[in-house]
Amino acid sequence: MNLLKKRIGVLGGGQLGRMLIEESTRLNLHFNILEADANCPCAALANNFILGSLMNEEKIRELAAISDVLTYEIEHVNTIALLKLEAEGKTIIPSPKILQMIQDKGLQKEFYAKYEIPSGKFYLVNNKEEWHRLIPLLGSEKIVAKTRTGGYDGKGVAILNAQEMIDFPERIPFDGPCVLEEFIECEKELAVIVARDTLGNIISYPSIEMEFDPTANLVTMLISPARVGSIIEEKAEEIARKVIHHLNGPGLFAVELFMDKAGNIFVNEVAPRPHNSGHHTIEACYTSQYEQLARILLGLPLGSTEMVQAAGMVNLLGAKNFSGEYRLENLDAISKLPGVFVHLYAKAESKPMRKMGHVSILAKSVEEVIEKANYVLKHLKFVQD
């Protein structure tokens, strides 16, 4: 295989695409990026940059024409255009058929039910009128409503009181097609990243645990391996691999899971791309999630997912109180810490809560990882320049 000539076309020019480029340029790959924002994180690194919307079929065809294989780093793309291209013989990984199912949270839940993959109870509704009949059947005090399409990062998701929605239907937040889910009393939220090559081999990464701030209910850091013990670890990875087995096509996927107090595991959703929860794999694993995707795109064997050390990750978010040009405070002090890796995404402007970068942390023990992560969280801040 002539690796020197392989041209990868990526829909989306965000930080996930940037890290895909960073992690696989040493394989001499050529990256073509399609993105609507000329100042995006991939702009300076792409070999070829096409400025255009990820919904624009013409632009997607322009990207396809100069690429040997296509992938995407975001789900909100023109799937119909990709399906047509695939039917015409273009290699797209993961297949847009998988993407189409994942884009619809209703179809996703039906998929889990069909293959007996544990995921909470659910009902599909088409409009507000159907809610009151189905809510009691979920049997939980709280319910979770999700718009079937178009949601991301918690938008289009509402945690609601079941009785209140029956008594006061005017408070129902979404009209139109939704999934109503039983609320799972979650002890931990986990993620397992799974890779599947073009031959059907499947490998999983050690699980990742989201650490929440109990007061703000925000994810503060990610820790891997998750502190769940070997039985649950095995169960989580097995369930995640089962999801990818039934998806039936190559790609790199992140499976988001809930663990309840009794240690039961439920699938929440799957992302068909590198994931925020897998940033630490760059330093912490023999093969990062990004290199793994590159290997899959190239038809190379999967790389080892073994961890070098325990790891953590904190997101660097834009400060709540300003938008504009920024600088990073206390970078000097952070840079002196061993096993601490700062990643910046080259975003032109900081905006409140915008993902501006992340820090990966490696240490001999999870306890030490958490200690260093807390230090980073306390000191490293984006401030107005």
Q: In the complex with ligand ADP, which residue's Cβ is closer, 189 or 209?
A: 189
Minimum distance between the CB of residue 85 and ligand ADP, rounded to whole angstroms?
A: 26
Minimum distance between the CB of residue 365 and ligand ADP, rounded to whole angstroms?
A: 27
Cα diameter, the chain: 65
| Residue pair 35/302 in contact by the 8 Å Cβ criterion | no
Quick one: which of 85, 101, 144, 247 contacts ligand ADP (CB under 6 A)? 144
Minimum distance between the CB of residue 219 and ligand ADP, rounded to whole angstroms?
A: 8
Minimum distance between the CB of residue 112 and ligand ADP, rounded to whole angstroms?
A: 12
* Burial (0-12, 13-18, 19+ Cβ within 10 Å), 350: buried
User: No. of H helices and E strands in the chain?
Assistant: 12, 19
For the segment 146-205, give every residue that binds ligand ADP (CB under 6 A).
146, 151-154, 157, 181, 183-184, 186, 189
Query: Which amino acid is present at 111?
Result: F
Q: Which long-range contacts (CB under 8 A, 24 or more apart) does 24-31 make?
A: 24/290, 24/291, 24/294, 27/3, 27/291, 27/294, 27/298, 28/3, 28/4, 29/3, 29/294, 29/298, 30/5, 30/6, 31/7
Q: In the complex with ligand ADP, which residue's Cβ is closer, 70 or 257?
A: 257
Q: In the complex with ligand ADP, which residue's Cβ is closer, 223 or 294?
A: 223
Q: In the complex with ligand ADP, which residue's Cβ is closer, 50 or 247?
A: 247
For the segment 265-304, give every residue that binds ligand ADP (CB under 6 A).
268-269
Residues 100-129, one symbol each (x = binds ligand ADP by CB under 6 A, - = not), give: --------------------x---------
Minimum distance between the CB of residue 73 and ligand ADP, rounded to whole angstroms?
A: 16
Minimum distance between the CB of residue 59 and ligand ADP, rounded to whole angstroms?
A: 26
Who contacts 336 (Cβ-Cβ below 8 Å, separation ≥6)? none
| Residue pair 30/6 in contact by the 8 Å Cβ criterion | yes
- How many residues line the site for ligand ADP (CB under 6 A)? 16
Type and span of the H or E element at 363: strand 355-363
* Burial (0-12, 13-18, 19+ Cβ within 10 Å), 336: exposed
Q: Is there binding between residue 75 and ligand ADP (CB under 6 A)?
A: no
Distances (CA, A) of 359 to 239, 246, 352, 381: 29, 34, 18, 12
Tell which residue, 295, 306, 312, has the closest CA to residue 373: 312
For the segment 253-272, give every residue that binds ligand ADP (CB under 6 A).
256, 268-269
Binding site for ligand ADP (CB under 6 A): 120, 144, 146, 151-154, 157, 181, 183-184, 186, 189, 256, 268-269
